[in-house]
Amino acid sequence: MSDQDAKAGSPVVLACTVGVLTEVPIMLMLVRLIRSRRGTFAEEAAR
């Protein structure tokens, strides 16, 4: 791998790393939020 290849690949590596590091906590937060409000959604669906 040449020096040029490493420079070209670095934004891709950064995007993949940052994407995973932000996506996982956000998804966990959304799951927690929805599970905590499960009764509210069920009541609205029953109407």
Q: What's the pTM?
A: 0.55
The alpha carbon of residue 34 and the mean position of all alpha carbons in its chain are separated, in whole angstroms, by: 15
C-alpha to C-alpha distance for 6 and 18, rounded to whole angstroms: 18
What confidence score (pLDDT) does residue 32 get? 95
What confidence score (pLDDT) does residue 1 get? 47
What confidence score (pLDDT) does residue 27 get? 96
Structure tokens at 46: 């029953």
C-alpha to C-alpha distance for 43 and 39, rounded to whole angstroms: 6
To the nearest 10 degrees (0 to 180), the angle between helices 38-46 and 3-36 is: 60
1-47: pLDDT as tens digits: 455 555 556 888 888 888 889 999 999 999 999 899 888 766 667 76
Residue 37: helix, strand or coil by DSSP?
Answer: coil
What confidence score (pLDDT) does residue 38 get? 84
